[in-house]
Every structure is written in structure tokens, then in C-alpha cells.
Structure 1
Amino acid sequence: MTIIVKFGGSLTRGAAPHTLLQRLAGQRGLVVVPGGGALADAVRAVQPQWRLTDGAAHRMALLAMEQMAHAMADLAPGLVPACSRAELAQAATVGTALWFPAAMTLGRAEIPESWAVTSDSLSVWLAAELSAERLVLVKAPGLRLPAPAGSRAGDIAAWTGLGLVDAAFATMAQGFRGDILLVPADEAGRLDDALRPGKKERDIIGEVKPEDGSKEGSRPS
């Protein structure tokens, strides 16, 4: 059973995330999806300056994720690089796969070329492609999550309204039947549970901290 772990871009905008990457490396059955982070931010900054189309910016942001994967592989050599479905499946059987997304995503008709699609939506798209058991979106430390809404649609609507996932996430998630969890990076126990195959979603969610009105930001890449 495969668990997709989307490594939030907010986790890459400061000091190098050695500790968390090392924690993920070497666990069988995991596939890490890199957020674009500061590299995608550079694309956002240059787009209006150069009057680039959203299509060009989207493709550049995908390559920012690809660059981030190279950085993560350097920081945590235990991660196993993979570019295709076959490589991801093989890598996840021996350790933690690290997705280099360009080969699978550039030019795909079902992936809109706009800022509505960031690495959050790409991670749930990949989860559907791999028939994963669960998608875990690892977000900024200290993030306060809204209380469970009682339905997936309600949860995703709340996450979208707070800027915790991108605008296309709800649509992209329709093709995925597994669990979807948001976990702050500093909640070690909950993250460990979320990465454990077979662990029930209701046992992982437990009691979440109430949302206090703050947002992770409008850039869920």
C-alpha cells in the first residue's frame, strides 16, 4: 500500500529541512511529492514582470518542483528518485520514493495550466494515479486546522477557504478514493500515525486544534 506525502512548500522557505526529510527517508511504501516553495515563488514574481502567460508560468512552476526534488535528494540521500509510475512503484517497495514530477505532468490534458493547480493538486492527482491508500499533506509547523466538517467535501471546502490547499484541489480530489489528511509538521505523533499503513483515518484525526483565523498563506505550493 502506497502513502503519498506532499512536502509543503512552506517547509522549504527557511532553513534546509534536513530533519523532516531524514525522518521520511527509508520508510517503505512512501512517495514524497516536493512543493515548489521559494523556487515557485520566483516564478510568481517574474511572471508579471515579463508578462508571461499562465501556461508558461505553470510549466515553470512544475520545473521548480523538479528542482526542489533535486535539492531534497541532495539533503536526504536515502530518498529514492523516481520519474514514472513504474519507477515510483519500484522505489516505494524498497524505501521512500522521491517524485520528480516533470515527466508525468508536463503537457497532460487533465492538468490545467494555471496557478489554481499547485503541488497540492498534483499530489492528489498522483495519489489517484497510483491508487494510493492515503495522501498526507504536511503543512507549516504550528498551523491550526479547522474542526472536521463530517464529510470530505466539507473538509476540502474549509481547507480551500483558508488557503490551506489550492483552488483546483476539490476538483482534482474527485478521482481519489483514499484518505486525505492535513498534518502540521511539528505534530510528530500525528504525522507518525498518518505515515503508518492501515492506520484508520478516524484514529489519526482525533481532536484537532481549532482554527484561529490565521492562514498558512495564499500560496499552497
Structure 2
Amino acid sequence: MHVTSSPFRGRSAARPIIVKLGGSLMGSPRLALLLADLARRGAPLVLVTGGGPLADGVRALQPRMSLSDGACHRMAILAMEQAAHAFADLAPGLVLADSLPAFARAHAQGRAALWLPARMALAAAELPESWDLTSDSLAAWLAGETGAARLILVKSAPAAAGSGPADWVAAGLVDPLFPRFAAAFGGAVDLVTPDTARVSLNEGARAA
């Protein structure tokens, strides 16, 4: 895994907490309230959006146009970028950010950052151009890149008690490459629902 020099390492500022918001939350009546809560919490959160129906559109288009996996990988990342703009519109207190320095600037203002992934992810040769890699693995990769204190996946469906990344793959909750990227990150990883996200975020804040 490629590791960049993070502006958060070796600083007095709290290490980031990466919060991945599943694409299944898009369209949920609870999404706006969740985003507002995350915006109020502010730094050191970095939010990662799933592509949701925007990425599903790429999947549907691939066989119709005979598109390569590489093209669809890039299109799906751009779908995540579009989702980030939608989330920012719902919660204006979030700061759109496309790089580690941009995260640090948002956190210096006490605000949560909302990742625009295209700039970083499309330049990362170590990320496979495959549907086996989705926004969950991208969130784990970003956690490693930032030296994050914690990675929290917020999904509509709960994980079984005591389960871990390999179990989540078997249950269809994360992509097949997620255990690899979570292991490379090496930090604490939680999978929660919107109902239990607050508890995990409070634990994450103490760990940061």
C-alpha cells in the first residue's frame, strides 16, 4: 500500500476519524439529520460517501456499452464525488476537501471535511480498477493515508455482534477487498447503523 506523508502525523491536532456513509443511506429521511450531527461534531471527522444509485447507474451501463472495468472504476469514483456534492448541499457546515492538506485546513477551522475522492483515488496506482473495490475499501485506504485514529462504516444493515471484516464480506456488507485495506490501515474499524453511530463516534473521539 502506498503511504503518503500525512500533515496530521507528528502534530498536536487530533488524528482524523474517517466516517464512511453508505450509499444505501441516500434518500433516507434520516440522512439530513445524521449529516447535521456530523457537521456539528466538526473536526477531526473526514466523511466518505458511497456512490449509491449514482454508482449503480455505472454498473447498469457497463454491459449495455461494453465498458471496461477501468473506465467504470473511474466513473464510480466520480459518482462518489457527485454524492459528496449532494451531501454538502444537505449539510452546508461540511467542508468539501480533495487532499490531506485540505482536510487539515478544515480541521484547523474546527469543521468536518467531506472527501472529494477523484484527485487522490484516481492518482493511486495501488487501487485495483475492479468492482471488487468499492467506497468501503476506498475509505479504509484513506484511513491509512491520513494515519486516522479510527474508521467507522455507517450502513443501513447491521453487522452481527463480534463479527469482523471477513464476516462482513460474507454477509455482503463490504466489498471483497475491504479486509485487505482494513488490515493495511491497522487501526480500529467499526460497522454501525445510524442508530448506533453516535456511540461509536463518541468512542472514536476519545481515541483520536
Structures share fold, TM-score greater than 0.5? yes
Counterpart of 2:179 in structure 1 is: 170
1:134 matched to 2:156 = no
| Residue identity in the other structure for 1:197 | R
Conserved 8 A contact 1:3-1:197? no
CA distance in 1: counterparts of 2:136 and 2:117, whole angstroms: 12
Q: Residues 37-68 of structure 1, C-alpha deviation per residue, up to 9 Å, x if partnerless?
A: 11001101111111101111110000000001
Conserved 8 A contact 2:22-2:153? yes
CA distance in 2: counterparts of 1:14 and 1:51, whole angstroms: 32
CA distance in 1: counterparts of 2:189 and 2:22, whole angstroms: 14
Conserved 8 A contact 1:81-1:100? yes
Change (3 A) 1:52 1:72: same
Question: 2:68 is matched with which residue: 43, 50, 53?
Answer: 53
| Residue identity in the other structure for 1:21 | L
CA distance in 2: counterparts of 1:87 and 1:189, whole angstroms: 25
| Residue identity in the other structure for 2:67 | L
CA deviation after TM superposition for structure 1 residue 90, in Å: 1.9
CA deviation after TM superposition for structure 1 residue 139, in Å: 0.6
Unaligned runs of 5+ in 2: 1-14
1:198 matched to 2:207 = yes
| Residue identity in the other structure for 2:172 | G
Q: Residues 110-141 of structure 1, C-alpha deviation per residue, up to 9 Å, x if partnerless?
A: 0000101100000000000000000000010x
Question: 1:158 is matched with which residue: 157, 161, 167?
Answer: 167
RMSD: 1.7
> For 1:136, what is the secondary structure of its paired residue?
strand
Question: 1:18 is matched with which residue: 26, 29, 32?
Answer: 32
Unaligned runs of 5+ in 1: 150-154, 200-221
1:43 matched to 2:82 = no
Conserved 8 A contact 1:66-1:100? yes
Conserved 8 A contact 1:120-1:166? yes
Change (3 A) 1:75 1:28: same
Question: 2:131 is matched with which residue: 100, 104, 115?
Answer: 115
Counterpart of 2:44 in structure 1 is: 29
| Residue identity in the other structure for 2:62 | Q
